[in-house]
Amino acid sequence: MAKIIVITSGKGGVGKTTTSASIATGLAKSGHKTVVIDFDVGLRNLDLIMNCERRVVYDFVNVINEEANLNQALIKDKHVEDLFILPASQTRDKDALTQEGVERVLNELKERFEFIICDSPAGIEHGAQMSLYYADEAIIVTNPEVSSVRDSDRILGILQSKSRRAEMGLEPVKEHLLLTRYNPARAETGEMLCVEDVKDILAIKLLGVIPESTTVLSASNQGVPVILNDESDAGAAYRDAVDRLLGNEREHRFLEVEKKGFFKRMFRG
Amino acid sequence: MSLLDYFKTKKTNTASIAKERLQIIVAHERTKRDQPDYLPQLQQEILDVIRKYVPIDQDQVQVQLDKNGNCSVLELNVTLPD
């Protein structure tokens, strides 16, 4: 049975697209047929993050309007097997995503994939609501910062009242917290909300903590999801998160300041 | 940086302030979350009707909707001036 997972946050710029790219890549790398859909109509960027921007011919809205079929619109990822990308349209018509159209496309994708990752746009408007409506699970991407935490709580409220599962009285959408851009040193000195603080406030299960890392920007510069970088802490944290999503136990890492040895301090700064 | 500066820049724990503020606003917004969208307008219209007869302020009318199982209770609390 295919699983639909929405990557959402309410607030913009917290790492939804970065997370969508890495989680989708990680799931496919673990051998699961995965498709990742960009719901950000008008401001598509997943294609750029996944380095397929020059291969976009047809998009999600073309498929909804039956101007193209799925085979024509799906882009096969070049980094991993079993991964496909469905890019957003650049149209400015934000009502292009009709509920019936989205449902039809998702049903068709369910036949072919194990995981359907929906990259939500920021905000709580139509596009964001469409991206979460059919979700079975939700990954709430949150930064350890007041506005992001508040918006995450708002999105949780919407998941609990406006999703299909909520409206039909089915088992609720499974919620996962993914804390990104985490800086253990600043959390330790009380400059930044710590993992426990955010967990206390949002009261949902922690899927992972992605440490703030320069490798995240260099990954998007190159269009290679950071999860594929074996030397990056952020990449390792995403790999752990994917494992947890697949039901495996993984201890949380990178929550505390790395104790630097004498030599590391002298030579690596 | 002088030694004196080092002691002066001792950082206050702003994360705990953030947590406290968040807990309050999130709790407040959660109570509003389950209310129907028409409640603020209902409150305004009730206020307007009462104002036709008695001069009262916005905060003297409290409208609250409580749910007990399959029964909803609309609680209306109006404080009239002496």
**Sheet of strand A75-76, all strands in order from the earlier edge strand to the far edge:** A75-76, A83-86, A34-38, A115-119, A3-8, A137-142, A174-182, A205-211
Question: What is the DSSP annotation of A121-175?
Answer: PSSSSHHHHHHHHT-SEEEEEE-SSHHHHHHHHHHHHHHHHHSHHHHTT-SPPEE
Average pLDDT, rounded, for chain B:
82
* Angstroms from B43 CA to nearest CA on chain A: 23
CA–CA separation, B19 vs A257, rounded Å? 21
Q: Please give, one letter per residue, the 3-state secondary structure of A178-232.
A: EEEEECHHHHHCCCCCCHHHHHHHHCCEEEEEEECCHHHHHHHHHCCCHHHCCCC
Q: How many CB pairs (< 8 A) connect A and B?
A: 45
- Structure tokens that stand for A197 in this block: 């603080």
Tell me: the pLDDT tens digits for A188-239?
999 999 999 999 999 999 999 999 999 999 999 999 999 999 999 999 999 9
Tell which B residues from 6 to 25 touch A, by Cβ distance under 8 Å: 11-16, 18-19, 21-23, 25
Main-chain phi, psi angles of B35, to 5 degrees: -80, 150
Quickly count: other Cβ atoms within 10 Å of residue A159's Cβ.
24
Whether the full predicted model's pTM is greater than 0.90, yes or no, is: no
CA–CA separation, A203 vs A122, rounded Å? 22
Tell me: the pLDDT tens digits for A53-105?
999 999 999 999 999 999 999 999 999 999 999 999 988 777 789 999 999 99
Tell me: the pLDDT tens digits for A8-27?
999 999 999 999 999 999 99
CA–CA separation, A86 vs A38, rounded Å? 6
In this complex, the residue of A146, A157, A189 whose CB is nearest that of residue B22 is: A146
The verdict on a CB contact (< 8 Å) between A150 and B23 is no
